[in-house]
Amino acid sequence: MTATRQDLPVPATGRQIHGFHGGLRLRHHKKVSCALAVERPPLPDRLIVPLLQHAGGMAEPLVRAGDAVLKGQPIGVCQPCATVHAPVSGYVEAIEDRPMSHPSGQPGPCVIIRPDGREQWTRLGPLDDWQNASPDTLITQMQNCGLAGLGGAVFPTHEKMRDGRERKTHTLILNGAECEPWISCDEMLMREQPGKVILGARILRRALGAEHVVIAVEDQMGAVQAALVGCREFGESRNISLVKVPAIYPEGGERQLIQVLTGLEVPAGGRPSDIGLVCQNVATAAAVAEAVSTGKPLIERYVTVTGNGIAQPRNFLALFGTPVAHLVECCGGYREDVARLVVGGPMMGFPLDTDAAPVVKASNCILALTRGDIATPQVEMPCIRCGECARVCPAKLLPQQLHLQVTNELWEQAQEYGLGACIECGCCDAVCPSHIPLVEWFRFGKSELRKRALETAASELARRRHEEREARLSREQRERAEKLARRKQTLRDKTTQQDRIRASIERAAQRDSRRTDDPEGGSSGGA
């Protein structure tokens, strides 16, 4: 792999844009939330910080109810995923189950913090001299600052970077191709903080040991391009290029973007680092810049609050734990015919049951849909095998086939047909003339495959431990038996020795008695 890596085309030099299979051209709806400048909303009364915020696991709380916390203080740790920090200074009111902006809709443990309004920071540890810091120091800093992929998957950044570093990445791709309709948080971030994005890109590049950085933005983001190219940091940096990509959904998917930029496909079941690339979201890069240059952990993000159900759609720089209701209120409230809240975009988002749920690291967008937006649910009809879904699938799967397999729970077959490679983009759903909720089924199927993999791993572990226990028990039994045998042997040996002693004593006694009988022959019978 390393030998061929040198030969791979480096996207920074070739500006040629490639295509990817399938995809859809969707209406953007982005301008509506870009009119107002981004602001921090006023502090809410309570912040609800869920302990489950990263792909990989639930954090263990580090604080207890009644504790005082400082802004930026770690309040939850999780190995190997990232740390959760207090977004404000204040005191912990409780740690209890609350709605937590998770696709399950289930409540989970959250740290409830009541702000004291002083905004007092904990002691921060910036890396002032990051140009000379070792990559390991930089990556550890990212872990301690709780960084995770802000594109929506919240994969811990340090893990991705460690993997990319070990596999000798040559190019870092910054993903600014925010392709899903309505969402504009990355666009606003790049317009308002281009310097931070570029600085973050350089830090990430150093941590990876990569040479090139490619920032990909959609060709419709004119202001973004001007802001990025115009900022001081861009002029000072070498080997950073900006590439405009056509706005086709789901262009912002990691694999699709890589294909568009390089013409290479990430192997199925593999990672971009397999072909010498690492892809990070632009918001993650800005957060990295913040974490390294100021030491501030990840406690806030750009969030788009938009949709036809919102009075004044806009973007906020919101603290994690801010209730969705609070943000909506700061947007002038709901419109009358609001019907549903969605976290994320209309294609890949998940419905939110209550607006008491907080903004978390994964929340890029809060979308309020009206009754008019939600078309009356169409009656699901049987699949007519038209093949439209396969034509638009960016992962080159056969959705109609997978649907049959998942509904019939033919898991081995579904796995063979690449169910795990589904990116849940929703293109097949959108074009299906029979209105089959395909992605709904695929999400269920993927979750089932994950469960089965976990079960297999658990039963494998149980088998190994059982076998080892059996081996240990039989070994112990054998050792006991051997020990017993040895002891018997020694005992027997001892008896024989005692017998021998006794025999020689007897012989001596006989000799003595003979000597007393015959005192003349005394010198001849020495023992």
Q: How far is CA 525 from CA 93, 313, 509, 510, 514, in A?
A: 102, 123, 12, 11, 10
Cα–Cα distance for residue pair 482/252, rounded to 1 Å: 68
Q: Which of residues 340-359 bind another protein (CB under 8 A)?
A: none
What's the token pair of residue 114? Answer: 């009541």
Listed ranges 87-95, 147-155, 415-423, 448-456: which one lies at the site for another protein (CB under 8 A): 448-456
- Compare residues 107 and 135 and give the one whose CB is closer to another protein: 107
Of residues 369-408, those binding another protein (CB under 8 A): 380, 382-383, 404, 407-408
Least spacing, CB of residue 460 vs another protein, in Å: 8
Residue number with CB closer to another protein (20 or 441): 441
Q: Are 426 and 347 in contact (CB under 8 A)?
A: yes
Binding characters for another protein, 23-42, by CB under 8 A (x = yes): --------------------
Select 57 or 263, whichever has its Cβ closest to another protein: 57
Query: Which residue's CB is nearer to another protein, number 118 or number 466?
Result: 466
Measured from the CB atom, the residue of 226 and 458 that comes closer to another protein is: 458
Mask of contacts with another protein, 452-491, x by CB under 8 A?
---x--xxxxxx-xx-xx----------------------
Cα 233-235-239 angle, rounded to 5 deg = 95
Cα separation, 393 vs 395, whole angstroms: 5
123: helix, coil or strand? coil
Q: Which is nearer to another protein, 57 or 195 (CB)?
A: 57
DSSP 3-state percent helix, strand, coil across the chain (nearest 5): 40, 20, 40
- H-state helical runs in 359-437: 388-392, 399-407, 411-416, 427-431
Name 281's bridge partners.
175
Q: Looking at beta carbons only, is 160 or 403 nearer to another protein?
A: 403
Please say whether the beta carbons of 355 and 323 come within 8 A.
yes
How many binding residues for another protein (CB under 8 A)? 37
Bond into 115 cis (ω within 30)? no
Least distance to another protein, CB of residue 199, Å = 33
Of the candidates 191, 111, 175, the one whose C-alpha atom is nearest the C-alpha of residue 360 is 111
Q: Which is nearer to another protein, 59 or 318 (CB)?
A: 59
Segments in 314-437 forming alpha helices (H): 324-330, 388-392, 399-407, 411-416, 427-431
Which residues within the stretch 43-72 sit at the binding site for another protein (CB under 8 A)? 52, 55-58
Which positions from 415 through 444 interact with another protein, judged by CB under 8 A?
Answer: 437, 440-441, 443-444
Taking the least distance from each CB to another protein, the nearer of 465 and 502 is 465
Angle between helices 282-293 and 194-208 (to 10 degrees): 80
Considering only 40, 232, 396, 451, the residue that binds another protein (CB under 8 A) is: 451
Alpha carbons 302 and 259: distance in angstroms, whole number: 27
Please state the φ and ψ torsions of residue 83, each to the nearest 5 degrees: -85, 150
Binding mask 82-121 for another protein (x = CB under 8 A): --------------------xxx-x-x-------------
What mask, x for binding another protein by CB under 8 A, covers residues 269 to 298? ------------------------------
The minimum distance between CB 320 and another protein, in angstroms, equals 17
At its nearest, how many Å lie between another protein and the CB of residue 147? 19
Name the residue nearer to another protein (CB basis): 108 or 126: 108
Q: How is 377-391 classified by DSSP, letter by letter?
A: PPPP-------HHHH
Residues in contact with another protein by CB under 8 A are 52, 55-58, 102-104, 106, 108, 380, 382-383, 404, 407-410, 437, 440-441, 443-444, 447-448, 451, 455, 458-463, 465-466, 468-469
